[in-house]
Amino acid sequence: MPLYEYRCPECDLKFEQLRPFSQADEEAACPQCQHNSPRILSNFACFSKDESGLSTSIGGDSCSSCSSGTCSTCGM
């Protein structure tokens, strides 16, 4: 069963749900406020080369202690 990501337009919570393919395009109820939430595009890994030619992570969420967008301590 696929894992889909959703973002609530009411409270901005990002959450995941395991759902069958038959429900892939249906909105999901937010676990925090129960608002219907659309599915969002999942990024599993995004990298880009910076000006020096080094690969760096781009996009995604990070925890408050991270400055680079990725964190080895929290896994974000």
Q: Please report whether residue 66 resides in a domain.
A: no
Provide the residue range defining the domain that includes 32. 3-43
Query: What number is the average pLDDT over the span 8-36?
Result: 96
Is residue 67 assigned to a domain?
Answer: no
Q: Residue 70 contacts by C-beta under 8 Å, 6 or more apart in sequence? A: 57, 60, 62, 76
For residue range 35-70, what is the model confidence (pLDDT) as tens digits?
A: 999 999 987 766 677 777 766 665 555 555 555 555
**Number of compact structural domains in the chain:** 1
Query: Is 0.75 topped by the overall pTM?
Result: no
pLDDT reported for residue 25: 92
Q: Name the percent of the chain lying above pLDDT 70.
A: 64
Q: Is residue 35 part of a domain?
A: yes
Q: Can you tell me the distance from the alpha carbon of 31 to that of 61, in angstroms, rounded to the nearest whole number? A: 19
Both tokens assigned to 26:
């249906």
d(CA 14, CA 21): 20
Residue 52 lies in a domain: no
